[in-house]
């Protein structure tokens, strides 16, 4: 790996942001501490370059780095352990990122997780080619100017996220980290997979609008529906994608009923993480992983901005669609018919009132203000008349999200607007 060339390329993107950058290699070994102090005073970012090895320079770079970026070729295999033992703060606090380099036509020699575990890395970031989108994304991440998008759960109301993403893309707003809970994670996963607006629209319509995946009802033992249709659609649209191989860093949250906490999914099979985060208790059967019973992330952390804040130190855009104003219809629960009476009148394709009851019960404790203060831009589309299970209200929800985000971007005057402007200029120059 040509570290100097990689450093020069990324430094150009850093300088385009108006930052002062210094690149220092092994030629600085033996320099006094005042030399490095002066470098930090005169520059915004100092890149210390070193190959792996038991050398004084490598040890010095580990001790003095705020964060360690380990560059590795995807067509190679790691030695285990990869990094020598070192008591540096970056190692102690796992401030290590794996930057996996990809070249056209080369096949991965091993699973990405093998590299991640060997490096004991907190994050995996992908770098395809040399200049371009990935390099600019890495530069933003290094500079603390990356943009994270957090999408809440909210059933059919989460369709609004699709309009939000379209508005952000039209404004040339970069999306560097994405995550969410429940249906918000479903949409965020599409962004992380690299779906454009047309593909996002086609796939979500097919999976949720054209027919209801929650329609394979049965007499409940652990859930109102079997879940086979949901499993099939997750397999169809996300296949066997691994979270650590996605174009963008991604997370989903589920609720671990075994431990009584929320669980963050940031590696492993994507469709399994999605199956866990949308398993609304009583409706979908729980997802069981390593003897842990996992259900919908909305139960404990429906708007996981706190997880995004731990994931990166840049800006955060949050979209919260969880609070539906209309609530339940009281008439549905006055002298309700039995199962056979309901089925004779409504058939098997209509959800009985217990479905709405369970959805509201699972999400009624959501604090609408929780974590909102951690966002740089926050929108909460009202979507009057659209309930959690109104799966046919796709177009109206998408339009509401689109309009609200366009207005929020027009009104915003903070640091995020500078990032958007810089990204637009870089896109035009490219």
**What separation in angstroms does the CA of 220 have from each of 141, 216, 284?**
47, 11, 10
**What separation in angstroms does the CA of 264 have from each of 126, 261, 290, 356?**
21, 10, 14, 26
Pick the closest to residue 290 from 315, 307, 265, 312 (CA basis): 265
* Annotated active-site residue in 296, 320, 404, 417: 296
Interatomic CA distance for residues 229 and 386, integer angstroms: 24
* Three-state DSSP state, 52: coil
Task: List the end-to-end C-alpha distance of the chain, in Å, as a whole number.
Answer: 25
**What separation in angstroms does the CA of 205 have from each of 186, 209, 280?**
13, 5, 21
247 contacts 189 by C-beta, under 8 angstroms: no
**What separation in angstroms does the CA of 41 have from each of 35, 46, 119, 389?**
10, 10, 30, 56
**Residues facing 127 on adjacent strands:** 101
CA 375, chain centre distance (Å): 15
303 contacts 372 by C-beta, under 8 angstroms: yes
**Residues facing 217 on adjacent strands:** 225
* Annotated active-site residue in 74, 146, 182, 279: 182
Interatomic CA distance for residues 398 and 375, integer angstroms: 21
User: CA torsion 247→253→259→260, rounded to 10°?
Assistant: 170
> 338-358: string of b/e by CB count within 10 Å (b at 16+)?
eeeebeeeeeeeebbebbbeb
Q: Is 296 a catalytic residue?
A: yes
Interatomic CA distance for residues 361 and 133, integer angstroms: 43
Burial class of residue 216, CB neighbours in 10 A (0-12, 13-18, 19+): middle
* Three-state DSSP state, 106: coil
Q: Is 320 a catalytic residue?
A: no
125 contacts 98 by C-beta, under 8 angstroms: yes
Residues annotated as part of the active site: 182, 296
């Amino acid at each position: 790996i040509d570290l100097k060339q990689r450093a020069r390329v990324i430094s150009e993107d850093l300088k385009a942001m108006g930052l002062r950058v210094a690149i220092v290699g092994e030629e600085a070994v033996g320099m006094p501490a005042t030399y490095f102090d002066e470098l930090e005073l005169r520059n915004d970012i100092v890149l210390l370059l070193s190959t792996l090895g038991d050398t004084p320079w490598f040890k010095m770079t580990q001790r003095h780095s705020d964060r360690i970026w380990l560059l590795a070729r995807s067509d190679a295999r790691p030695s285990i352990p990869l990094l020598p033992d070192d008591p540096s703060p970056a190692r102690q606090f796992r401030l290590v990122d794996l930057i996996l380099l990809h070249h056209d036509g080369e096949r991965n020699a091993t699973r990405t997780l093998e590299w991640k575990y060997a490096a004991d890395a907190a994050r995996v970031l992908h770098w395809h080619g040399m200049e371009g989108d990935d390099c600019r994304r890495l530069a933003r991440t290094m500079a603390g100017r990356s943009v994270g998008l957090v999408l809440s759960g909210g059933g059919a109301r989460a369709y609004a996220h699709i309009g939000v993403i379209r508005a952000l893309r039209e404004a040339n707003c970069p999306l560097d980290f994405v995550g969410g809970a429940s249906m918000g994670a479903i949409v965020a996963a599409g962004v992380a997979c690299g779906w454009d607006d047309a593909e996002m629209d086609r796939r979500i319509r097919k999976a949720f609008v054209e027919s209801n995946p929650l329609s394979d009802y049965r007499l409940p033992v652990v859930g109102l529906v079997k879940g086979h249709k949901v499993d099939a659609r997750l397999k169809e649209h996300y296949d066997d994608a691994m979270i650590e191989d996605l174009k963008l860093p991604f997370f989903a949250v589920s609720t671990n009923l075994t431990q009584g906490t929320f669980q963050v999914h940031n590696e492993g099979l994507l469709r399994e993480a999605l199956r866990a985060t949308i398993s609304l208790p009583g409706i979908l059967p729980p997802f069981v992983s390593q003897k842990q019973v996992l259900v919908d992330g909305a139960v404990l952390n429906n708007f996981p901005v706190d997880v995004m804040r731990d994931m990166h130190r840049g800006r955060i855009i949050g979209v919260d669609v969880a609070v539906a104003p209309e609530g339940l219809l009281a008439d549905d629960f006055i002298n309700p018919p039995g199962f056979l009476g309901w089925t004779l009148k409504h058939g098997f394709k209509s959800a009985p009132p217990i479905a709405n009851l369970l959805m509201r019960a699972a999400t009624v404790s959501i604090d609408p203000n929780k974590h909102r203060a951690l966002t740089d831009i926050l929108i909460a589309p009202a979507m009057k008349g659209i309930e959690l299970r109104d799966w046919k209200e796709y177009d109206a929800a998408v339009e509401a999200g689109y309009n609200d985000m366009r207005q929020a971007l027009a009104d915003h005057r903070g640091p995020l607007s500078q990032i958007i402007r810089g990204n637009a200029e870089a896109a035009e120059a490219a």
